[in-house]
């Protein structure tokens, strides 16, 4: 439904700040995204059919919209259709889809606002899988809830097993955990002694416990990962896993159908394998079937599946080798999921690229991006209808030329861009005269989106080139 509505009529007015140091952390879901600003506020965009944006309704948003008014958010993690977040005071909050009890409030009723859950503990880390979550408490215990069809909760599965839990359950009896990670239908836990343990789904070998057979297709309790290193950074998509050790070396394992391991092949690897030994790495993120990583020189690298432009190199060609994407900015953080990618530079600027069919990139449209596109920093979470500039494209449809009209209001000084549905800018400029005609005769027939931009506002409208 959102695609139909937006392609027929897009005209949204937003307010932005232009200074840097805006974004602190971003988490990508399947069709929605959440990010925390440096001021501690939480924002989200994309699909909202299950209330996963946490804004009190099921209205989707093509731009980041603020979740409540709190400014003490510490970390956010996105599941398939739900969200889990941690506040600075150590409290745990969830919202969104709840059909597997992933909200953790003892029900299976979806929630469209953040709600606090859990025992009276101080929580230090949270991580969302597809339809389950895990959380690390200050007492070094791990807790889980939601879907258990692949033993994500370390509970029995099958005919006489447990399908899901809508309230937290403790994982084992150990209290020596220092870090956690969930992805897809699997989990990892890191212990004080730096050993890594995995459980849940393991069809693609991403748990790193050795050859796949009837005993290792899934693991019903934490199992020690083979060839494990003292890990500094870990990421998993539930299909493949990546780790950076304390020497900065990059390791990958699991599914490799699209070259996401980066070893130049498409052969699955079932244990952690050193992929890059000639450079030091500082961050890594596993998407659906692609991988992003940042080297110590703050350059950005991407490889694997590229069908929606998620590698950011301007093409849709897959890459099975670790490949440089950008070295012009100082990148510090990456996040990827499904077919989309995100990165934050040292100035706190957020960039997005890849699939955007539900507006999850936050670019105020539904166009995929094949290269990193900056997501401006909003200072207002609501559509500013009072100062909104409605504009029309005349004529629409058009053969040769178009003009922008705002019902008597002046558009002089605004920049414009015309973007194809493939995400390419095909025409751009500045409006110097009202009702000036801009030639589109060289454009191929099809649907385009025109953007009008000022320092603080963006408005957009689709038109048809005949």
Domains in the chain: boundaries: 18-378, 392-465
pLDDT, tens digit (0-9, with 9 covering 90-100), for 96-112? 999 999 999 999 999 99
- Of 240, 244, 243, 247, the closest CA to residue 320 belongs to 240
Half-sphere exposure of 80 (CA within 13 A, CB side): 14
pLDDT, tens digit (0-9, with 9 covering 90-100), for 116-168? 999 889 999 999 999 999 999 999 999 999 999 999 999 999 888 999 999 99
Separation CA 318–CA 191 (nearest Å): 36
Give the pTM. 0.81
**How sure is the predictor about 291, in pLDDT bands with cuts at 50, 70 and 90?**
very high
pLDDT of residue 414: 86
pLDDT, tens digit (0-9, with 9 covering 90-100), for 263-283? 999 999 999 999 988 899 999
pLDDT, tens digit (0-9, with 9 covering 90-100), for 240-268? 999 999 999 999 999 999 999 999 999 99
pLDDT of residue 106: 97
Give the least confident one: 30-39, 135-144, 292-301, 379-388: 379-388
pLDDT of residue 8: 27
Cα-flanking dihedrals φ and ψ of residue 3, to 5°? -65, -40
**How sure is the predictor about 216, in pLDDT bands with cuts at 50, 70 and 90?**
confident
Q: Averaged over 355-362, what is the pLDDT?
A: 95
Q: Averaged over 342-369, what is the pLDDT?
A: 95
- Of 247, 142, 132, the closest CA to residue 190 belongs to 142
* Fold observed for domain 18-378: Methylamine Dehydrogenase; Chain H (2.130.10)
Q: Other CB atoms closer than 10 Å to residue 301's CB: what's the count?
A: 26
Separation CA 460–CA 451 (nearest Å): 4
- Of 379, 350, 373, the closest CA to residue 24 belongs to 350
pLDDT, tens digit (0-9, with 9 covering 90-100), for 420-430? 876 678 898 99
Domain 392-465 sits in CATH at: 2.60.40.1930
User: DSSP class of residue 317?
Assistant: -
């Amino acid at each position: 439904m959102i695609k139909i509505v937006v392609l027929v009529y897009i005209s949204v007015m937003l307010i932005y700040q232009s200074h840097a140091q805006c974004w602190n952390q971003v988490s990508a879901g399947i069709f929605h995204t959440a990010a925390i600003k440096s001021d501690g506020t939480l924002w989200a965009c994309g699909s909202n059919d299950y209330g996963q944006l946490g804004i009190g309704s099921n209205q989707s948003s093509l731009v980041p919209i603020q979740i409540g008014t709190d400014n003490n958010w510490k970390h956010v993690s996105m599941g398939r259709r739900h969200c889990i977040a941690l506040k600075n005071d150590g409290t745990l909050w969830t919202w969104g889809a709840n059909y597997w009890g992933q909200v953790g409030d003892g029900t299976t009723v979806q929630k469209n606002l953040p709600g606090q859950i859990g025992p009276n503990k101080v929580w230090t880390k949270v991580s969302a899988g597809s339809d389950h979550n895990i959380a690390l408490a200050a007492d070094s215990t791990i807790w889980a809830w939601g879907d258990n069809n692949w033993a994500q909760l370390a509970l029995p599965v099958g005919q006489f097993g447990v399908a899901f839990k809508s309230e937290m359950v403790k994982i084992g009896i150990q209290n020596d955990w220092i870090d956690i990670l969930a992805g897809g239908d699997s989990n990892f836990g890191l212990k004080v002694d730096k050993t890594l343990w995995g459980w849940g789904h393991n069809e693609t070998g991403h748990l790193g416990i050795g050859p796949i057979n009837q005993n290792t297709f899934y693991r019903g309790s934490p199992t020690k990962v083979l060839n494990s290193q003292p890990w500094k950074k870990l990421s998993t998509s539930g299909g493949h896993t990546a780790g950076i050790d304390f020497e900065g070396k990059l390791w990958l394992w699991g599914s490799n159908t699209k070259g996401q391991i980066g070893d130049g092949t498409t052969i699955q690897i079932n244990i952690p394998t050193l992929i890059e030994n000639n450079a030091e790495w500082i961050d890594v993120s596993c998407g659906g079937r692609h991988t992003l990583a940042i080297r110590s020189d703050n350059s950005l690298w991407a490889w694997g599946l590229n069908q929606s432009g998620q590698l950011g190199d301007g093409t849709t060609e897959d890459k099975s080798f670790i490949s440089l994407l950008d070295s012009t900015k100082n990148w510090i953080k990456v996040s990827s999921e499904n077919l989309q990618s995100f990165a934050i530079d040292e100035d706190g600027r957020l960039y997005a690229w890849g699939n955007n069919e539900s507006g999850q990139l936050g670019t105020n449209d539904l166009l995929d991006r094949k290269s990193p596109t900056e997501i401006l920093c909003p200072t207002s979470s609501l559509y500013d209808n009072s100062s909104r500039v409605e504009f029309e494209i005349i004529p629409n449809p058009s053969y040769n030329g178009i003009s922008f009209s705002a019902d008597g209001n002046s558009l002089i000084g605004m920049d414009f861009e015309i973007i194809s549905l493939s995400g390419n800018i095909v025409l751009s400029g500045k409006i110097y005269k009202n009702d000036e005609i801009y030639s589109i005769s060289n454009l191929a027939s099809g649907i385009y989106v025109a953007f009008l931009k000022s320092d603080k506002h963006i408005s957009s409208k689709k038109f048809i080139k005949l």
